[in-house]
A and B are shown apart, each in its own frame.
Chain A
Amino acid sequence: MNQFEKLTIKSTIQHLKCKDFSCKELTEYFIKKISDNRKLNCFITETPDHALEMALNSDKKIDNNEIRAMEGIPIAMKDLFCTKNVKTTAASKILENFIPFYESTVSKKLWDSGSVMLGKSNLDEFAMGSANTTSFFGNVINPIKGKNNSDLVPGGSSGGSAAAVAAGLCLGATGSDTGGSIRQPASFCGIVGMKPTYGRCSRFGMVAFASSLDQAGTLTKNVDDSAIMLQTICGYDEKDSTSSKMDVPKFSEYEKLSLKGKKIGIPKEYLVDGLNSEIKKSWENFSEEFKKIGVEIIDISLPHTKYSLPTYYIIAPAEASANLARYDGVRYGYRHQNVDNLDDLYEISRSKGFGDEVKRRIMIGTYVLSAGYYDAYYIKALKVRRLILDDFIKAFKKCDLILTPTTPNVSFLIGEKQDDPLEMYLNDVLTVPASLAGLPAISVPAGKNKDGLPFGLQIISSHFNEALVFKAAKFIEDTNK
């Protein structure tokens, strides 16, 4: 086995400090591994030259003993984060040739802390999807195979990031989560996916989908790496007025917290129809494991849970329809040639530039915001959103954390669930509520089904309580070993 195969972010930092190998050697290994695994389609753009340049710079920093938090760590950047002078597509034809002249805050923070960019990872178009099947650049393939070696979806929308981490093509990856786009692919690929509190990370330079929900986060091999990587991307940014001014604690110190005497709530509403029996069993088992270390497990109710998906599928498309109005074929992006009036320019450029799912959501969003329907749909959904948040606020008066499955089922075949958009939407039934409430939530691997397909459990806390989420996730990780 190659010496680099088992590396984590945490162990690599130590090895680089001890000069067991150089960043350049490590980066060359990943560059080769990425090119050997192109069939997985994890990357839209590979950036080997950038990577080597950054690696050499990290080697210099290490020589000079100026080691930063993520020095020399090769990562994948979801192609939703604008990267200066590197193509940023959001997996859409409409941005196929878009080259930003600025850097997103999240990616800037990662480069400033020494991370090495291996490439821009694939996703669902504009992060709209749960299987990575809506990407203009083709489906990502889950490195974990199904029965008879069949190809499975990696989940979505951060499918390229999740598959790249699971396949060992990078040590960590960024993701963005609007309704489950970090947690669901993490569950399908058997890795850790963390969505922090809404406002923890700046949205500046992250291609907008639904601004009141979009939140950056991390996909990593384990919980410790998640804490290290999340640390680097959090913090207030004057370029995003919705980024939070709350202090960011040192997440890696979560180990000092104790779970003894803490209360974990089990919401009965998450026992949804069609919940996979092996996932259900694992959920019950881990409740018992938590009891053994002195955690009190209590039943809680989040009564508006069943309205979360309908609420989400009004609010997210409404915000998307407004955000995606900027793609006009004039200032950047795809432009249809040979049209003689402005309306045709807009309409044909947008119709040819956007894929079907994106168009569907723009249409729904425009409808629910249009005169006569605004109050009945959009305002109604905003009111129910408050009730969903209130459910959580009440629950967190009784418990410290909430434990649920991440997804109702394991990954599925590529091509499945394509005929009915609603069937695809149901993938997110257990992740959307925390998104609507802006709560931090992690998916941590909890086991595999009889066919060897992984699934995760989700831990949710009150706002800005990520450290406790890490602590409980680490317990599941250690118990699952």
Chain B
Amino acid sequence: MSIDNSIVKKISKLSKLKIKSDSEDKMAEELNNILNWVESLQEVNTEKVEPLLSVLNEKMPLRDDKVVMDDNQVDILNNAPEKKSGFFVVPKVVE
């Protein structure tokens, strides 16, 4: 097993997901199954191969460097679960 419960804990922390302790075994098993399955890639010789990040063969366009003002603060905040005086609200982070 390459992924054990301690790695599940670490990855869930990085992913900002809470995995219940009684589900860790199942998650570890599922992740291992998937990783064992993708292991076959290791047999491919990729020595002189460049990673392919995008299939789009076109130059990324540069946009004009000019200010565009969007006055949509109210619209944006409409979807906020909690808001106050034009701000998003989060739990207290500084004592």
Q: Could you say which residues of chain B place their CB within 8 Å of the CB of A98?
A: 79
Chain B: residues with Cβ within 8 Å of the partner, total of 51
A383 to B45 alpha-carbon distance, docked (Å): 9
A242 and B38 contact, CB distance less than 8 A? no
A370 to B12 alpha-carbon distance, docked (Å): 12
Contact with B along A371-395 (1 / 0, CB 8 A): 0000011011111111101000000
Contact with A along B33-66 (1 / 0, CB 8 A): 1110111111010100111111111101101000
Q: Could you say which residues of chain B place their CB within 8 Å of the CB of A370?
A: 11, 14
B61 and A99 contact, CB distance less than 8 A? no
Chain A: residues with Cβ within 8 Å of the partner, total of 69
A335 and B81 contact, CB distance less than 8 A? yes
Interface membership of A310, Cβ < 8 A: yes
A348 to B16 alpha-carbon distance, docked (Å): 8
B:18-42 near A, CB below 8 Å: 18-19, 27, 30-31, 33-35, 37-42
Q: Could you say which residues of chain A place their CB within 8 Å of the CB of B30?
A: 360, 421
Interface membership of B78, Cβ < 8 A: yes
6 smallest A-B Cβ distances: which pairs?
A438-B55, A382-B51, A335-B81, A332-B79, A386-B52, A101-B75
B56 and A384 contact, CB distance less than 8 A? no
Chain B contact surface mostly: loop
Q: A371 — nearest CB in chain B belongs to which residue?
A: B14
A386 and B17 contact, CB distance less than 8 A? no
A345 to B50 alpha-carbon distance, docked (Å): 40
Binding site for B on A (CB under 8 A): 98-99, 101, 198-199, 212, 238, 241-242, 244-246, 304, 306-307, 310-311, 313-314, 321, 325, 328-335, 339-348, 350-351, 354, 359-360, 362-364, 366-367, 370, 376-377, 379-387, 389, 420-422, 436-438, 463
| Contacting residue for A342 out of B3, B61, B78, B90, CB 8 A | B90
Q: A379 — nearest CB in chain B belongs to which residue?
A: B51
A245 and B58 contact, CB distance less than 8 A? yes
In angstroms, how far is the closest chain B Cβ from the Cβ of A365?
Answer: 8
B31 and A242 contact, CB distance less than 8 A? no
B58 and A310 contact, CB distance less than 8 A? no
In angstroms, how far is the closest chain A Cβ from the Cβ of B69?
Answer: 15
B27 and A363 contact, CB distance less than 8 A? yes
A380 and B41 contact, CB distance less than 8 A? yes
Q: A439 — nearest CB in chain B belongs to which residue?
A: B55
**Known contacts A241-B61, A363-B17, A367-B11; A329/B81 CB under 8 A:** yes
B11 and A366 contact, CB distance less than 8 A? yes
A363 and B15 contact, CB distance less than 8 A? yes
B:76-92 near A, CB below 8 Å: 76, 78-82, 88, 90-92
A363 and B11 contact, CB distance less than 8 A? yes
Q: Could you say which residues of chain B place their CB within 8 Å of the CB of A325?
A: 16
Q: Could you say which residues of chain A place their CB within 8 Å of the CB of B46?
A: 380, 383-384, 387
Further 7 A-B residue pairs, CB within 8 A, beyond A333-B81, A380-B44, A383-B44: A199-B56, A244-B56, A347-B17, A379-B51, A380-B46, A385-B52, A420-B33
Interface membership of B93, Cβ < 8 A: yes
A355 to B19 alpha-carbon distance, docked (Å): 12
In angstroms, how far is the closest chain B Cβ from the Cβ of A79?
Answer: 16
A347 to B11 alpha-carbon distance, docked (Å): 12
**Known contacts A335-B81, A366-B14, A367-B3; A389/B52 CB under 8 A:** yes
